[in-house]
Amino acid sequence: MPLKPPQSPSPPPTLQVGAEQAALAASFVEESRALLEEAGDALLALERDPGDQGAINALFRAVHSIKGAAGLFDLPALVHLVHAGEDLLGAMREGRVRMDGAAADELLEGLDHVGQWIGLFQQGGALPPTAMEIARRFAGAYRLRLEQTDGPAQPAAAAGGRIRHDWAEAQVAAIRDAGGQDGPLVTVEYCPDATCFFSGEDPLHVARTLPGLVWFAIAPREDWPAAPLFDPYVCNLRIRLASCAPVEAVEEHFRYMPDAVTIGLLDEVAPSPAAAGPAAAALPPLAAELVEAQRRALAEPARAGQVDDIAATLRNLCAALGRPVPFGDAPDAEALAVAVAALLAPGPPADDAAAVVADTPGDAAPIAGPSRPDTAERTLRVEQGRIDMLMNLVGELVVAKNALPFLARDAENRFGSRELAREIKDKYAVIDRITRQMQGAVMGIRMMPVSDLFKRFPRLVRDIARKQDKRVQLVVEGETTEADKNVIEALAEPLTHILRNSLDHGIESGAARRAAGKPEVATVRLVASQEGDSVVIAVSDDGRGVDPSRVRAKAIERGLIDAERAAQLTDEQAVQLVFLPGFSTAETISDLSGRGVGMDAVRSVVERLGGEVTLRSQHGEGTTVRLRLPLSMAVTRVLTIDLAGQAYGVPMDLVVETVRADPAAIRRLKAAEAIVLRDTVIPLVRLRAMLGMEPHHPPLESVLILRLGDAMVGLVVDDFGTSMDIILKPFSGILANMSGFSGTAVLGDGRVLLVLNLKEML
């Protein structure tokens, strides 16, 4: 009862409280997410090396902070679970319990639940009724683990006779007064270790949360050093506490820092007559706070009608403190004011001063106000939607800008003004330059490091490895490599797939690895790097690699390729067969991968992003999958081509050259056509035929030479257009699944350009 926070003095408008609470909740959610992530990482590190003191401290601190923050809200289940976890971690930190795989599983699972709950809390503010049950189950599991390994010699802290703290005897009156009761009190002298901040201990929090706290004093242990020498991370605090809780509860509370505390007892004393002495005359801090609140309430003219309430509060307070009530039965406001002043008069100066400060909040604010310089934060958190809008606007600007050359042409041809045309072109050059810079800037904003993507993988690898009873270490490199947010986000699924494949099919069991003379712990490397305009992500393992003969056999069995053609393939080519749709080599379908949607899904995603996948594998030695993606998908450079009067776009990076060929130079090999160009035979494909249009035979064939993977292909079109930068908009809605085209773009003259997806078509 004593230190329960009083109802806030002069109740602030509820609206403000609500807003504050919401802001607090939002920061709690954000903070806890970060802490959970930290905890997850630390837990994984700890599992790898159970002796990692840094990791256990980080983990403990993270969990402890979550617990502390969660305590502010009505989340009993969450606190219960985290508290039990904290106990277990505390034991691990002291070396009483060892971390092992099973314990890590339980802890990770618990963290997952906490994460879920925080998500629910964010959405609806309340946890499901099952939460407490889950929390109890986990807490039970943690406690069991704790008990199994916990030695019985735990409470060795302060056996035998209780110490009597001299200071407690000296201030017995004040302590008793604050305690408001005569029962035995527990006194605690708590001198936290100088380095305690580094182990995640927050002495103030520990002290504040002491059960039954009735009195406290806090002071430096030694004089503070001169300001320049002051180190905020050397703890120099001495906290003295008195509690009305049982000794066991107090001991339990300080169980993590038995060396830092001495726990004493303040026996029952006959209420000393000192109660009337000068020390006791002062109100206990809490009571002073309450009286102060009444004083402020009285001063407010709007509360003139509530004099009775104030009188009742004061009367109760005096009764609780065992003091005479300093006013009559039906006091008026004036009499009350006198009584309040009398109550406050001998109070500690702190309260008076505080009262003045609180009394003049208008003064406090302006002091801080004008002196606040424009130190805007260095970083800005912006909703992605806004950036996307900016990006779209820049895109529109690019399109609008592209209309200017058309206008210049019109000025010259239709209106016969060369001069105007030239001027428009000049202005166009300026706008073009600015637009490019703007585009670059907006794209820069959208760049994010791949670490945001990679951070989920250590957990994934760990979970899969444990499920399969394999030992795997994941090495991540190049996390700072940046790429467009869309690229990063789109890569999550393919990379997960590749990693799963690697762990499921690539990495052998421990026994097989030993037999093959490999280290038992397999290594999976996840490496990102930037190469020119693209980002390259490589996943390599040192597993068994892909067996070309098995791939061939499987491909034939599935009818993906005929035996004759399979036999012709080199081993390297055979390995690429895994990219064919419907290919899966796993003998048994596991719940991880091998559902028949494998590498082809990866390839289609990556190609949709304008990238490419390559797979290199050495049988018996490992596999490397390389994803190569454009840094940004925002602007695509295309070559326009003309086909039956309609413009189409071909991604510029595929185009090798454009050729005008005499139809006579085209060789026919049965149904197929080919052209010999600089001693190379290049197969030809007619785009009209592919799109089901009427054949067209101009005197000179326009052939677009393209490079697709390692092969060259000649694409016969009607005519070539120009090259231009476009903002490619993928199809949406019912057109989303249309094959053959990767999207559309609006041209400067308002026409729509269809961009061909040649990788898919050819």
Q: Give me the residues that bind other proteins (CB under 8 A), please.
A: 3, 5-6, 8-9, 24, 27, 65, 68-69, 72, 192, 197, 202-205, 208, 216-220, 223-228, 230-233, 235-237, 285-286, 289, 348-354, 356-358, 360-361, 363-365, 367-368, 371-373, 375, 377
The residue (of 356 and 665) whose beta carbon lies closer to other proteins is 356
Cβ of 293: how many Cβ atoms within 10 Å?
Answer: 21
φ/ψ of residue 220, rounded to 5: -70, 145
Specify the residue for token string 């393992």: 541
Angle among Cα 597, 599, 602 to the nearest 5 degrees reads: 95
Nearest-10 crossing angle of helices 131-149, 101-123: 150
Specify the residue for token string 């807490």: 139
* Least separation in angstroms between CB 1 and other proteins: 14
What does DSSP assign to residue 223? P
Contact yes or no for 505/556 (Cβ under 8 A): no
The residue (of 201 and 482) whose beta carbon lies closer to other proteins is 201
The residue (of 62 and 716) whose beta carbon lies closer to other proteins is 62
Of 332, 340, 289, 326, give the one whose Cα is nearest residue 307: 332
The residue (of 226 and 736) whose beta carbon lies closer to other proteins is 226
* Least separation in angstroms between CB 65 and other proteins: 7
DSSP codes of every residue in 266-294: E------GGGGSHHHHSPPHHHHHHHHHH
Cβ of 92: how many Cβ atoms within 10 Å?
Answer: 22
The residue (of 164 and 208) whose beta carbon lies closer to other proteins is 208
Contact yes or no for 52/45 (Cβ under 8 A): yes
Pairing of strands 472-477, 522-531: parallel
The residue (of 200 and 395) whose beta carbon lies closer to other proteins is 200
Q: How many CA atoms lie within 13 A of 552 on its CB side?
A: 15
Of 263, 258, 264, 262, give the one whose Cα is nearest residue 196: 258
Q: How many residues does the chain have?
A: 762
* Least separation in angstroms between CB 72 and other proteins: 8
* Least separation in angstroms between CB 232 and other proteins: 4
Contact yes or no for 185/214 (Cβ under 8 A): yes
Cβ of 323: how many Cβ atoms within 10 Å?
Answer: 15
* Least separation in angstroms between CB 287 and other proteins: 11
* Least separation in angstroms between CB 122 and other proteins: 17
The residue (of 2 and 76) whose beta carbon lies closer to other proteins is 2
* Least separation in angstroms between CB 375 and other proteins: 7
The residue (of 27 and 529) whose beta carbon lies closer to other proteins is 27
CA distance 93 to 177: 39
The residue (of 68 and 683) whose beta carbon lies closer to other proteins is 68
φ/ψ of residue 382, rounded to 5: -125, 140
* Least separation in angstroms between CB 581 and other proteins: 51
Residue 484, token pair as written in the block: 């467009």
CA distance 107 to 402: 58
The residue (of 54 and 620) whose beta carbon lies closer to other proteins is 54
Long-range contacts of 217-220 (CB under 8 A, 24+ apart): 217/167, 217/171
* Least separation in angstroms between CB 221 and other proteins: 11
Residue 676 pairs with which residues in a beta bridge? 681
* Least separation in angstroms between CB 255 and other proteins: 18
* Least separation in angstroms between CB 360 and other proteins: 7
CA distance 177 to 272: 10
The residue (of 155 and 225) whose beta carbon lies closer to other proteins is 225
* Least separation in angstroms between CB 162 and other proteins: 25
Distances (CA, A) of 57 to 39, 146, 236, 565, 590: 10, 18, 21, 60, 37
CA distance 211 to 205: 12
φ/ψ of residue 185, rounded to 5: -115, 150
The residue (of 25 and 247) whose beta carbon lies closer to other proteins is 25
CA distance 730 to 40: 37
CA distance 395 to 372: 39
Residue 185 pairs with which residues in a beta bridge? 266
* Least separation in angstroms between CB 348 and other proteins: 8
CA distance 754 to 670: 32
* Least separation in angstroms between CB 249 and other proteins: 19
Pairing of strands 185-190, 752-756: unpaired
The residue (of 324 and 369) whose beta carbon lies closer to other proteins is 369
The residue (of 69 and 625) whose beta carbon lies closer to other proteins is 69
* Least separation in angstroms between CB 23 and other proteins: 8
Residue 452, token pair as written in the block: 């945001």
The residue (of 231 and 591) whose beta carbon lies closer to other proteins is 231
3-class secondary structure for 5-20?
CCCCCCCCCHHHHHHH
